[in-house]
Amino acid sequence: MNIQDGFGRKRYSNSDIYEGSWKEGLHEGCGRYTWNSGNTYTGNWKRGKMCGRGVMKWANGDAYDGYWLDGFRNGSGVYRYVDGGYYFGTWSRGLKDGKGTFYPTGTRHPSMKRWSSSVGFDDSGRSVSSQSCSLDMEECKTARPDVNRNVSEKISVGKISRKSGRISNRTKSLDDSWSLCDPAEDLTCHDISSRFSHASDLGLTEVKDNNAVIYEREYMQGVLTKERISYSAELSHKTKKNNEFRVEKVNGRSCVDIFNSRRSYYLMLNLQLGIRYTVGKITPVPKREVRSSDFGDRARIRMYFPRKGSQFTPPHYSIDFYWKDYCPMVFRNLREMFKLDAAEYMMSICGHDGLREVSSPGKSGSIFYLSHDDRFVIKTLKKPEIKALLKMLPDYYSHVNDHENTLITKFFGVHRIKVRSGKKVRFVVMGNMFCTELRIHRRYDLKGSTQGRYTNKDKIKENTTLKDLDLSDEFLMDKLLRESLFKQLSLDCLFLESQDIIDYSLLLGLHFRAPEHLKAFTEPPATVPSQDNSPPADGVSSQGELLIPPKGLILVTHEPSSVNIAPGPHIRGSTLRADSVGDQQVDLLLPGTGRLRVQLGVNMPAQASRKLLPADVDSAEVELFEVYDVVLYMGVIDILQEYNMKKKVEHAYKSLKFDPLSISVVEPKTYAKRFIDFLKKVFPEQP
């Protein structure tokens, strides 16, 4: 079709040069772009924009190595200043957002192991890969044409072990003076750190004082909100402690113990092989309405996957396993109902970028995986939970079909893996409600109960999910948005009550906007190099932060053609109406991000109001409130716990020790009422 596709080199009329992978006329995959001003970017591209892991070097000497999204620094990364200083932290849409550490000029630099380990969650709350990507341009050139359509698959990857910190595969340098390791060597992170911080490599005067001053900072949309002066010895001890990898065990045995040394890798590979097989088999079947037989015990797909392959399965590098897919036709229709394309679903979970294991926020000991694009969460389930899901599946299907704005967890598939030793692992694939380009600053798991519903302050970290008693804010919403929220919550709770389900909760994610009074603050001038004010077409600016407009969140009339619809399970559902614009459908206008589609539980604007304690103000006679603009993301999760005989006994026992209404385990009707009443206090009506 006379469109660039594959590997190629193009010189533009303004002397810019791009060399790398193309797809349908756009930069896609790995490539290097050189602007006529001298700025260069080497890394991953998507739909013509810098996206994924990459390195940007500016003509003034600054450099950034980290993650990108739509041409902006977005995620974890490290920024090198021309004067020798370094900043390790997270960015959101080009702005520093979240916690980070600044190492001034001459300070001993940290090990790259620390940064690689910290790349667990990016600044939008998503998990990101702990793999180190580097570009091999010659490999791209010699790759087969069919592979050139996505040359990112040919990127050399070096996996970094959580414990040893050793890079297992040899990687090639992104840039001679700015790389993770030498192309011809197999180095440990200690070796990398030594080379990385060597004076001859960076032109620095290395300081041997281990107690050199460093700065722990916290930003909100580019605004410096907190700063703590620390010392390198103190920070390294704390970092080492925080980066320890632990697997919590339940009843002396964790789900992770199912396999041996490479258990997580085998689980992940088996899951991908099974889903690829099932989706490929069920997709060609002509579309039809589900029948009662699609929910029965016979509605299963079973297959044996020997390592050497068979007539129906490909050879693989995992162990032999048996695969079972539950109710495939039902979940196929559910995926179509949620407007998920089968090919996109399969590539998101089974693509070469793989799945990422994340730590479990709860006490269940379940394993959690995230797809590489953050659209899907995969969780291991216990046998009673699988039975509860399959039992409610016919009614769940009808409920989701009748209520497109339901806040209940979206299920896309249920599977089981059985190895030859007889051990079984059961999985469910769900939609990730925090799949958003905005950073989730705080998370809450709200049940409405009070007994034990708090988090130890010593255990609270940046990505900790807090509980009911930790919440001190009220969220004021538009009148019609609030009415829509509680109307749907009542319908969802009525459904869960009919299924005898308890112990569910509202998972609430908050994205804070920087308050007006903080926008006057600037970063200390001694730590900011000269800014490169080149236009966007000349690459992104080296360090100048994007200007924050004076207004925060604005609701505007809905215009479908101009709305930025985020990927993932959020696209199903109607746009909400708002009283503030005259009962019309609305979008959220977010400075620095653009228009976002407002749906139930997605991109919902509100004001977080917190009453200040007397100790926080000069006079106890005046009530003062701290108010923030926030964007809310929410959904009802953990809906697979039935109120069975075991739970009834637990309720009777705990009622002897505590207030019966304060404990989590109560009968379904009481649970639903308490849940709604508590949320009405969290989202009160505006006066």
Phi-psi map region of 672: left, alpha, beta (phi>0 left; psi -120 to 50 alpha): alpha
Q: Is the pLDDT of residue 426 over 70?
A: yes
**Residue 321 pLDDT level (bands cut at 50, 70, 90):** very high
Residue 110 within a domain = no
Residue 164 within a domain = no
Mean pLDDT, the chain, rounded, equals: 76
495 plus 349 within the same structural domain: no
For residue 437, the 8-state DSSP code is: S
Q: Is the pLDDT of residue 127 over 60?
A: no
Q: Which residue range(s) make up the domain with 600?
A: 438-519+596-614+622-686
Residue 183 within a domain = no
Residue, of 107 and 537, whose pLDDT is higher? 107
Contact 345, 351 (CB under 8 A): no
**Residue 9 pLDDT level (bands cut at 50, 70, 90):** very high
Residue, of 617 and 93, whose pLDDT is higher? 93
Write out pLDDT tens, residues 77-100.
Answer: 999 998 888 999 988 888 888 888
The alpha carbon of residue 613 and the mean position of all alpha carbons in its chain are separated, in whole angstroms, by: 34
460 plus 383 within the same structural domain: no
Return d(Cα 279, Cα 312) in angstroms, integer.
Answer: 14
- For β-strands 465-466 and 442-446, DSSP reports them as parallel
421 plus 394 within the same structural domain: yes
Structure tokens at 267: 């689980």
Return d(Cα 406, Cα 567) in angstroms, integer.
Answer: 18
Residue 671 within a domain = yes
Number of H helices, E strands in the chain: 12, 33
Sheet holding 424-431, edge to edge: 300-305, 321-326, 411-419, 424-431, 376-381, 368-371, 355-358
506 plus 476 within the same structural domain: yes
Q: Is the pLDDT of residue 16 over 90?
A: yes
The pLDDT of residue 516 is: 58
Residue 485 within a domain = yes
Query: Nearest-CA neighbor of 6 among 113, 136, 151?
Result: 151
Total domains in the chain come to: 3
420 plus 475 within the same structural domain: no
- Could you identify the residue written with the tokens 């979940």? 331
Residue 191 within a domain = no
**Residue 551 pLDDT level (bands cut at 50, 70, 90):** low
Write out pLDDT tens, residues 211-249.
Answer: 578 888 888 877 888 888 877 655 555 554 443 333 333
Question: 23-32, 311-320, 451-460, 481-490: which has the highest mean pLDDT?
Answer: 481-490
Q: Where are the alpha helices (DSSP H) in 434-513?
A: 479-498
Return d(Cα 144, Cα 470) in angstroms, integer.
Answer: 55
Q: Is the pLDDT of residue 301 over 70?
A: yes
**Residue 182 pLDDT level (bands cut at 50, 70, 90):** very low
Residue 25 within a domain = yes
Contact 397, 291 (CB under 8 A): no
397 plus 296 within the same structural domain: yes
The pLDDT of residue 42 is: 94
- Contacts (Cβ under 8 Å, ≥6 apart) of 113: 160, 165, 189, 190, 192, 193
344 plus 417 within the same structural domain: yes
Structure tokens at 329: 């036709």
Q: Is 52 helix (H, G, I), strand (E, B) or coil?
A: strand
Classify burial at 466, counting beta carbons within 10 Å of its beta carbon; exposed 0-12, middle 13-18, buried 19 or more: middle
608 plus 496 within the same structural domain: yes
Q: Is the pLDDT of residue 400 over 80?
A: yes
Q: Is the pLDDT of residue 651 over 80?
A: yes
Torsion angles phi and psi, residue 508, rounded to 5: -115, 125
Return d(Cα 575, Cα 490) in angstroms, integer.
Answer: 19
337 plus 474 within the same structural domain: no
600 plus 476 within the same structural domain: yes
Share of the chain above pLDDT 70, in %: 71
* Domain boundary pick from 71, 88, 103: 103
Torsion angles phi and psi, residue 123, rounded to 5: -75, -5
> What CATH number has the domain bearing residue 490?
3.30.810.10
The pLDDT of residue 65 is: 93
Q: For residue 58, how many C-alpha atoms fall within 13 Å in the half-sphere facing its CB?
A: 24
360 plus 305 within the same structural domain: yes
Contact 468, 453 (CB under 8 A): yes
Mean pLDDT of the region 110-137: 41
328 plus 392 within the same structural domain: yes
Q: Picking from 213-227, 245-259, 306-320, which range would have the lowest pLDDT averaged per residue?
A: 245-259
The pLDDT of residue 110 is: 59
Return d(Cα 50, Cα 54) in angstroms, integer.
Answer: 8
* Domain boundary pick from 404, 432, 460: 432
For 183-194, the DSSP string reads: TT---BHHHHHH
Q: Which residues of 51-64 are buried (b: 16+ CB within 10 A; e: fewer)?
A: bbbbbbbbebebbb
Mean pLDDT of the region 519-528: 43
Q: Picking from 59-63, 109-113, 403-407, which range would have the lowest pLDDT averaged per residue?
A: 109-113
Residue 169 within a domain = no
**Residue 417 pLDDT level (bands cut at 50, 70, 90):** very high
The pLDDT of residue 113 is: 45
Q: Is the pLDDT of residue 617 over 80?
A: no
Write out pLDDT tens, residues 325-362.
Answer: 999 999 999 999 998 889 889 988 988 777 888 876 56
Structure tokens at 347: 């590539």
Query: Nearest-CA neighbor of 386 among 421, 417, 342?
Result: 417
Q: Which pTM was predicted?
A: 0.72
The pLDDT of residue 161 is: 34
Query: Nearest-CA neighbor of 85 among 406, 525, 501, 481?
Result: 525
Q: Is the pLDDT of residue 67 over 80?
A: yes
In DSSP terms, 33 is beta-bridged to: 18, 41
Contact 410, 391 (CB under 8 A): no
* Domain boundary pick from 103, 138, 154: 103
Mean pLDDT of the region 276-291: 89
> What CATH number has the domain bearing residue 75?
2.20.110.10
